[in-house]
Chain A
């Protein structure tokens, strides 16, 4: 597994900065772009998976209890999940207000 780009030193970079390992975009923390994060109200959730389907960054994963939860490492805070949720179970909350 490769490491996030912020941890590479100049000496470690492959010649020409080619990416030799496929799929290393998975280390790219797009999560630090967001100013709003999605909060799921599990009481309203009907497990329809529309958040999972509409998420443009594939940040949503199914957890053991059967809920779709956004991985905040990738979630850019676009709010599409909240907009599409038919039961309004997802609210976008300013990140600083935890």
Chain B
């Protein structure tokens, strides 16, 4: 692992808590993992990895974090180690992206089936081919149905905050699910942002030690990962499906508790100038901040446009989404992933399914934009809203197109 520290921003030395400091978002994420007092970090140390585990390996090597750091030979092994360590009750962490996530995919389903509350940060990047390293959501959409709780965050502060939030939710006895924090690769992971760090005493109060429900222990032998015949497999999946959906109230409760502690409140669906808007942009991740700038611009021009941001991707917050969108005339859904040969992007598919049963529902116009790191600027959102409003007006109410592709 490299020890070049120059590009790490404010990641080194004493860090003042309870105060905003400029630091690279990956370093802030690693500091949060340290503050969450994890027992095990397991990661494959080269591309497509980020500074998150690089910094964590420094923290462990320097004795600043008392944890085991497993430098494994693949992402498949990284997740396998986390599954094993969580099984004995050790708070575990890993992160990856893109091809690394593809290699890990098999084990992500096992982690959730075994109900082990691992935390993984995915610094979202493009899946090959062609070979690319830049940011979009094609990696995480590949494992959409892996059965983890899945968040999308907008900025560095949200990454930092959600490390504590995720462990507290995932490890709750009423939940027991692994959690993914999706943060945009490069756009967030490699950028220096102001981060308000939280005092350790507050973290310790907010995040109690992990008390596993059925840990592997020689004194109480149990079997984990037994096979299931057709006569019982459906029952196991129903139990998992019901439990993941049932985690929503706990997620809301933990967000509330975190907000009461820090003043930063989070919600499954967040809106910006959306209440009276005729047209709503629907976004996920860091692109949302750009979209809000575009909304401001369009509002100044007197246009009735707002923004709806999906923060909680799984379990999908159907009721909150409908509450935020059903009053609108048009939804302009921005996908950052192509569902090749499918009905449009995966977010648009979800959105359409969420509102399908409603007698009065907005039209859904879908753009795939910003794939593989192509910039989406405020004027791009304006153009997309223009296009969608015209197309819907002309009767193309469920359109789908890839934005900005040269003809």
- The answer to whether B222 touches A5 (Cβ under 8 A) is no
**How far is it, in angstroms, between the C-alpha of A19 and the C-alpha of B224 when the chains are bound?**
7
| Contacts between the two chains (Cβ within 8 Å), count | 55
B: contact size bracket: 20 to 34
- 0 or 1 for each of A2-38: is its CB under 8 Å from B? (1 = yes): 0001101111011111111010000000000000000
Given A5-B231, A8-B232, A10-B238, does the pair A19, B213 have CB atoms closer than 8 Å? no
The interface residues of chain B lying within 8 Å CB-to-CB of A20 are 214, 222
The interface residues of chain A lying within 8 Å CB-to-CB of B405 are none
The interface residues of chain B lying within 8 Å CB-to-CB of A6 are 229, 231-232
Which one of A8, A9, A19 contacts B222 once the chains associate, using CB atoms below 8 Å?
A19
Interface size on A, residues (CB 8 A): 15
- The answer to whether A15 touches B213 (Cβ under 8 A) is yes
A-B contacts, 7 listed (Cβ < 8 Å): A6-B229, A13-B236, A16-B115, A16-B213, A18-B114, A19-B224, A20-B222
Residue ranges of B at the interface with A (Cβ–Cβ < 8 Å): 113-116, 176, 213-214, 221-224, 226, 228-229, 231-232, 234-236, 238-239, 242-243
Residue ranges of A at the interface with B (Cβ–Cβ < 8 Å): 5-6, 8-11, 13-20, 22
Least CB distance from B115 to A in Å reads: 4
- The answer to whether A10 touches B222 (Cβ under 8 A) is no
- The answer to whether A19 touches B223 (Cβ under 8 A) is yes
- The answer to whether A18 touches B222 (Cβ under 8 A) is yes
**How far is it, in angstroms, between the C-alpha of A22 and the C-alpha of B226 when the chains are bound?**
12
- The answer to whether A16 touches B116 (Cβ under 8 A) is yes
Q: For the complex of A and B, list the 5 residue pairs with the smallest distance between their C-beta atoms, beginning with the closest.
A: A16-B115, A19-B223, A10-B238, A10-B235, A6-B231
**How far is it, in angstroms, between the C-alpha of A20 and the C-alpha of B115 when the chains are bound?**
15
Given A10-B242, A14-B214, A15-B214, does the pair A22, B221 have CB atoms closer than 8 Å? yes
- The answer to whether B232 touches A16 (Cβ under 8 A) is no
- The answer to whether B222 touches A17 (Cβ under 8 A) is no
The CB with the most chain B CB atoms within 10 A, among A5, A14, A22, is that of A5
The interface residues of chain A lying within 8 Å CB-to-CB of B113 are 16-17
The interface residues of chain B lying within 8 Å CB-to-CB of A18 are 114, 214, 222-224, 226
